[in-house]
Amino acid sequence: MEKIKLIALLAIVTLTLNSCLKDTCKTSQTYLRYEAIYKTGEELRTPLEVKAPQKIVNPGKIYYYDHYLLIGELGKGIHVIDNADPAHPMPVAYWAFEGNVDIAIHGKQMYLDQFIDLVTFDISNFLQPVEVCRRNDIFPSFGFVQNKGYLVEYRYNEVKEEVDCYTNNNGNYYFEGEFLWVTADFAGKPGLNSSFSPAVVSQGSGIAGSYTRFCVLNNFLYGVTTNELIPFTLTETDCPVAQQRVQAGWNIETIFPYKNNLYIGSQTGVFIFSASNPYRPTHLSTFSHVTGCDPVVCADDLAFVTIHNGTTCGGVRNQLDILDITNPSSPFVVQSYNMAYPQGLALTSKYLYLCDDGFKIYDRSTPTNLKLMKHISGIDVTDVIALGDELAILVGADGFYQYQTTNPSAPVLLSKIQVK
C-alpha cells in the first residue's frame, strides 16, 4: 500500500514539474513579419516622376550609361548620379518609379520593369525621361486576388517577441492569415540576392551590374523571370515586341550576353542559350552545381561564376568557378576557388573584380592560378561595375564607392556616397 502511495506521489510531482516547466519556459525570437501587398492595375501603373536628389536608403541594382550612374532604390525608384568626375559624383535627380528593379538602355530608349509591366522611355533628354509605351502583364506577379488586385510584394518589419518553448511558432517560419513570419537568422538580409564587361556591351547600350535580369544583344532585349527567357524586338520608334517565351530553367536570377550566346545564372547552375535565332533562343548546355546564388560574367572564352550560400539560395558552398566555354555546348570547370561569401563580379582586360568579404582584385592572366593583387576589407559591397582597367564602381549596404584601379595593387578611393 505504501509503495502504491509513493508511486502515485512521484507521478503527481512529475506532472506538476512538467506543468511548471511548460508554463515558465519562454524564449525570445526575432522575426521578420512579411505583409502581403496588393495593388490594382491602376495603382501599380504609376508614371515616373522626376524629383530632386534623395538619400540612398536601400540600394538595389546599378547601371552605367554615358557619364551617369543609376543606382536603384529597391522597388521605389532610381538615383541619378552625374559621374563625369568620379572623384566628385553629383546626385542630379531621383526618378520615383515604384515597382522598378531592373534597367536596360539601348540607343535613346530606356527599358524599366514596373511590377509586372515593361515600360519604355525616350531619353533624348536624359534627365527628363518621357514614357512612350507600356507592355502590360509581361512579368509574373505573385498572384491575383479578386477585389484586392495583384500580389506585388511582401513588405517586412522586424519584430522581437517572447514565445512559448512548446509553441509551433518558434520554428524558422510560420503563417498567420496573410502574414508570413520568418526568423531573422533564417531569412538573412532582405533585398538583393541584386557584372558586365565593357568589352561585350552592345553599341549604344549601358553597362549593368552582375545581378541584372535584362540585357541587350544585337538589337534584341532579353529578360528573364524565375523560369523563362523572354526575347523582345527593339526599334528606335516602336515599343518592344515580346516574342515567344522560352522555358529556361528554374530559380533564375541573372543574364549575361557573350558573343552570340546568353548565359543565364540560376540557383542551381548556368544555362547557356544560343541567340543565333534571336526570336527563339535555343538551349545549348547546362553547367550544374550545388544549390547557391550565382551571377555569371564572361570574357576570353571563360565564364566566371560565383556561388554563395544563404537561406534564400540554399547550399553551403562559397566559391568561384571558372569555366571553359570555348565550346558553349560543352562547358567544363577549369578551376574552383574557395571564397568567404562571393557575390557580384566584373572583368577587365586583365583583372577580376570581386565582391567577397569586401573588394578583391585578382590578376586573371592564368585562370588556374589567380593572383590576389589587393583585398580591401571592412566594406559591405554586393555588386561592381568595371570601367576599363581604370575605375571600379561598387555598391552595397555601406553605400556607393569608386576606386581608381590604374595600379591594381594599390587602388585609390576616389569617392563614397553613404547610405542613409
Q: What is the pLDDT of residues 288-305, one digit of tens each?
A: 865 566 789 999 999 999
Sign of the dihedral through C-alpha 406, 89, 59, 188: positive
Please state the pTM of the whole predicted model. 0.83
- Count CB neighbours of 82 within 10 A: 17
Instruction: Please state, in angstroms and rounded to a whole number, the distance separating the CA atoms of residues 108 and 124.
Output: 6
CA 233 to centroid of chain Cα atoms: 25
Alpha-carbon dihedral angle through residues 233, 260, 206, 254, given to the nearest 10 degrees = 90
What's the pLDDT at 196? 31
pLDDT band at 202 (very low <50, low <70, confident <90, very high): very low
Contact 362, 406 (CB under 8 A): no
Q: What single letter denotes the amino acid at residue 65?
A: Y
Domains in the chain and their CATH numbers?
2-38+143-185 (no CATH), 47-138+192-418 (2.130.10.10)
Does the pLDDT at position 374 exceed 70? Answer: yes
pLDDT tens digits for range 246-258: 999 888 999 999 9
Please name the helix (run of DSSP H) or strand (run of DSSP E) that holds residue 284, with its range, or none.
strand 282-288
First to last CA, the chain: 76
User: What is the chain's length?
Assistant: 420
Residues with Cβ within 8 Å of 311's Cβ and at least 6 positions away in sequence, in order, are 186, 187, 188
What's the mean pLDDT when you consider all of the chain? Answer: 85
**What gap in Å lies between CA 386 and CA 379, rounded to an integer?**
18
Asked whether residue 260 carries a pLDDT value surpassing 70, the answer given is yes
The rounded radius of gyration (Å) of the Cα atoms in the chain is 25
Beta-carbon contacts of residue 31 (< 8 Å; ≥ 6 apart):
158, 159, 160, 161, 181, 182, 183, 184
Share of the chain above pLDDT 90, in %: 62
Separation between Cα atoms, residue 375 and residue 373, nearest integer Å: 7
Contacts 24+ apart (CB under 8 A), 286-291: 286/249, 287/323, 287/331, 287/333, 289/317, 289/321, 290/315, 290/316, 290/317, 291/267, 291/315
Distance CA 165, CA 279 (A): 57
Write the CB contacts of 212 (distance below 8 Å, at least 6 apart in sequence).
61, 63, 102, 103, 104, 196, 254, 255, 256
Query: Among candidates 196, 190, 169, 380, which has minimal Cα distance to 296?
Result: 196
Cα separation, 243 vs 238, whole angstroms: 15
Q: State how far the Cα of 395 lies from the Cα of 73, in Å rounded to an integer.
A: 12
Cell numbers at 261, concatenated: 550566346
Q: Is residue 331 a contact partner of residue 284, using CB atoms and an 8 Å limit?
A: no
List pLDDT tens digits, range 64-101.
Answer: 999 999 999 999 999 999 999 999 999 999 999 999 99
